[in-house]
Amino acid sequence: MFYSCAGSCAGLAARGSPAPPRAAPPLPPLLLGEPGEESSLEEQRAAPDAGSPISSFFNGSGTKRLPQAIIIGVKKGGTRALLEFLRVHPDVRAVGAEPHFFDRNYERGLAWYRDLMPKTLDGQITMEKTPSYFVTKEAPARISSMSKGTKLIVVVRDPVTRAISDYTQTLSKKPDIPTFESLTFKNRTTGLIDTSWSAIQIGIYAKHLENWLLYFPIGQILFVSGERLISDPAGELGRVQDFLGLKRIITDKHFYFNKTKGFPCLKKAEGSSKPHCLGKTKGRTHPDIDQEVVQRLRDFYRPFNMKFYQMTGQDFGWD
């Protein structure tokens, strides 16, 4: 029995020409950490996005389109949770894997990128998420070149907690890496923070945002609180749905709180009648970190946080 998809979305914005070259603010070189857990592009091609029950019913109909909205960051901020929650919406179709097109695969071209996308019907939004875009210097100009109208979503989290979570993920893969404390400082005695370490650098949100604002107006970027995504997922999803021009279909009734993991889970996942929590790699227990080091990091990030609050018009309450 047919029924129509709820909500609506503007069609893919016309592809604009690249923004005029402007000097982006210099960033220290990234020492990239381990990539997040994600399925490979090969796996994605072999087992494409399952799709909502509505879209699955049409099996094969629709058109592959370049994304109208992209979750561009940040790593260990809650991007996977946001994407999984959004995919419950019948008007959202998203790539499961992280394409890394605008940072690692740009030379493959837009046709390759479009081919990764799921098919959509009229009124549905195509999305992807790759958290490393936010800290990639070339990404804003490249996305603007694809479409100046692309809507951008950034999930941010207390940068100190984010850095520890980032380290915890790497530690799970490389148990013999140095301690968090030793990696944090260039010189422990003087307390000089090592901003070349990616776990630290990613959290300097204001610096990265300056680069994006050379190509996109602030109103085209939505900033989602990673903390509120845990404490009030329906509230944050309401803001995201409004930003995307979608009907508010994802509400409190879709979530329950998993006390073991410490974050919300879906009562019914997309295309399933069973409850769904994120995988075992999410919600890891963080190692105990020297509180003096934590305080040094809070002092380091404070001025950057204040600037970020001013730039976004939002106080995330990280102090």
**pTM of the full structure:** 0.79
User: What DSSP letter does each residue of 237-300 carry, written as one string?
Assistant: HHHHHHHTT------GGGEEEETTTTEEEESS-TT-SS-B---TTSSPPPPP--HHHHHHHHHH
Task: Evaluate whether 305 touches 312 at the Cβ level (below 8 Å).
Answer: no
The type of residue at 252 is: D
Residue 115: its H or E element: helix 110-116
- pLDDT for 46: 36
Is 165 flagged in the annotation as binding?
yes
Given a cut of 70, whether residue 45 has pLDDT beyond it is no
Is 77 flagged in the annotation as binding?
yes
**253 or 50, which is more confident?**
253
Given a cut of 90, whether residue 309 has pLDDT beyond it is yes
Is 262 flagged in the annotation as binding?
no
| Token code pair at residue 86 | 């959004």
| 3-state secondary structure at position 68 | coil
- pLDDT for 52: 45
What is the mean pLDDT of the segment spanning 240-258?
Answer: 93
Q: Where are the domains of the chain?
A: 63-160+201-285
Residue positions counted in the chain? 319
Given a cut of 90, whether residue 287 has pLDDT beyond it is no
Task: Evaluate whether 264 touches 237 at the Cβ level (below 8 Å).
Answer: no
User: For the segment 123-159, what is each residue's pLDDT rounded down to a tens digit?
Assistant: 999 999 999 999 999 999 999 999 999 999 999 999 9
Of 297, 285, 299, give the one whose Cα is nearest residue 165: 285
Task: Evaluate whether 224 touches 78 at the Cβ level (below 8 Å).
Answer: yes
What is the mean pLDDT of the segment spanning 10-21?
Answer: 42
Is 283 flagged in the annotation as binding?
yes
Given a cut of 70, whether residue 102 has pLDDT beyond it is yes
Given a cut of 80, whether residue 43 has pLDDT beyond it is no
Is 100 flagged in the annotation as binding?
no
β-pair type (125-129, 221-225): unpaired
Report, at the CATH architecture level, how domain 63-160+201-285 is classified. Answer: 3-Layer(aba) Sandwich (3.40)
- pLDDT for 282: 52
Is 282 flagged in the annotation as binding?
yes
Does the active-site annotation cover 76?
A: yes
**238 or 288, which is more confident?**
238
User: For the segment 212-230, what is each residue's pLDDT rounded down to a tens digit?
Assistant: 999 999 999 999 999 999 9
Which position among 75, 76, 148, 207 bears the catalytic label? Answer: 76
Q: Give exposure, 154-171, as e/b (b: 16+ Cβ within 10 Å).
A: bbbbbbbbbbbbbbbbbb
Is 190 flagged in the annotation as binding?
no
| Token code pair at residue 226 | 């990673």
Q: Cβ atoms within 10 A of the Cβ of 257, count?
A: 12
d(CA 118, CA 128): 10
Residues 6+ apart with CB under 8 A from 272: none
